[in-house]
Amino acid sequence: MKPIQVGLLGIGTVGSGTFAVLQRNQQEIARRAGRGIEIAMVADLDVERARAIVGEQIQVVNDARAVIANPDIDVVVELIGGYGIAKALVLEAIAAGKHVVTANKALLAVHGTEIFQAAHDKGVVVAFEAAVAGGIPIIKALREGLSANQIQWVAGIINGTTNFILSEMRDKGLDFDVVLKEAQRLGYAEADPTFDIEGVDAAHKATILSAMAFGIPVQFDKAYVEGITQLAAADIKYAEQLGYRIKLLGITKRTDKGVELRVHPSLIPAKRLIANVEGAMNAVLVQGDAVGATLYYGKGAGSEPTASAVIADLVDIVRLIDADPAHRVPPLAFQSHTLAAAAGALPVLPMAEVVTSYYLRIRVADEAGVLAQITSLIAGANISIDAVLQREADEIGGEGIAQTDLIILTHDTREGDMDAALARIQALPSVLAPITRIRKEELN
């Protein structure tokens, strides 16, 4: 049987890994797929560099549209990234009747609904295992392996850069800015790390996971996004003393009122497996009503781990290429005509309606009555306190004022109520610095 012909758009880190793994494991992959998979054409602006990677036997061009226009290409693999030209190329490939594999989580989180509808109308597949958590097969798990379950929640460490930074802050007791510079030096963080450290990359991935878990359209614009730039070494130290670790989590949860979709730093009990995921590794914890908790762990980025996911998508396409489109697994796990109705029944909740528990660090003047005043304001907002710790006075501030940190852990409460309470506490003359608020997730 004639091998499937693949066109690569972009041959950077992931593209070169895809080419290398296909070359190295071509016999094993063909045995799994039932026919060969060959990269027949590559588009990259740096033609000479691309040719040095793939050799002289494969056609290399600098125009991605030439790949899409080639009638011999069966599958287009988009590895360019971003929202702009990548969207146009993916839609053009679909219009040309090509199946598409992409690692572009930003594109799918923002424009996925349009892209999946276009693919459905044309009868082609858009596969995207590599878009979330690199080599971890979390998309296939949600789309197929857990299809018997009503998913209750998903929580993931889905950005390796921030997890590396937080691991280093905990291990070495250093502040964020110091560790970020080290992460950039070692290549874990980009020269412009904004998407990673501000939580945007994780939010793109969480948006896709949310859509697949609950059968709703992708709705990145409704996600709550908070990064790690405001975390201090003191918070990581205090969390450790309390039996917690701080991780940047992407969380999506089904509630009676709707779906929570949020990315932010979270305290997790140190005894949880996911709390012990260190360095640049990723992990996703999924709670289903039938199966209970399942954990998926591995490399969330890198050339060959991500290539593993790209090639898994190619194998799936080869297996299904002659199947009736109506009998293929839907891209978001649920039949497409049910997504809009689900969006009405399960709206994405505003952050003010989210219910969780909290860690608060409040820098105060070390004076009699301050603790009672603060706890009274919290109780007045109908917020239940779980624990209060007062650190020894360790600093003399301006005008000789002794300062100390109050650490307060709360039980579950509505975010809007917490916002109102913190505004009143922040206005107290005895509160000497902006209050640190970190959400706490038990992940039971």
Active-site residues: which are they? 205
257 is in an annotated binding site: no
Kindly state the DSSP code that residue 29 receives in the 8-state scheme.
H
**Alpha-carbon span 385 to 371, nearest angstrom:** 13
For 232, list phi and psi in degrees, rounded to 5: -115, 155
Kindly state the DSSP code that residue 119 receives in the 8-state scheme.
H
304 is in an annotated binding site: no
298 is in an annotated binding site: no
425 is in an annotated binding site: no
17 is in an annotated binding site: no
**Alpha-carbon span 412 to 426, nearest angstrom:** 21
Residue identified by tokens 């027949």 is: 40
DSSP 250-274: EEEEE-SS-EEEEEEEEEEETTSGG
10 is in an annotated binding site: yes
Query: Looking at the DSSP assignment, which residues form a beta bridge with residue 37?
Result: 4
Kindly state the DSSP code that residue 428 receives in the 8-state scheme.
S
Output b/e per residue, 82-116; b: 16+ Cβ within 10 A: eeeebbebbbebbebebbbbbbbbbbbbbbbbebb
**Alpha-carbon span 71 to 17, nearest angstrom:** 25
The bridge status of strand 436-440 relative to strand 355-365 is: antiparallel
DSSP 275-320: GG--TTEEEEEEEETTTEEEEEEEE-SSHHHHHHHHHHHHHHHHHH
398 is in an annotated binding site: no
Among 132, 70, 74, residue whose Cα is nearest residue 98: 74
Please count the helices (runs of H) and the strands (runs of E) in the chain. 16, 18
436 is in an annotated binding site: no
**Alpha-carbon span 108 to 12, nearest angstrom:** 20
Residues placed in the known binding site for NADP(+): 9-16
User: Which residue positions form the known binding site?
Assistant: 9-16, 105, 190
* Binding site as annotated, residues for L-homoserine: 190
Which residues participate in the annotated binding site for NADPH?
Answer: 105
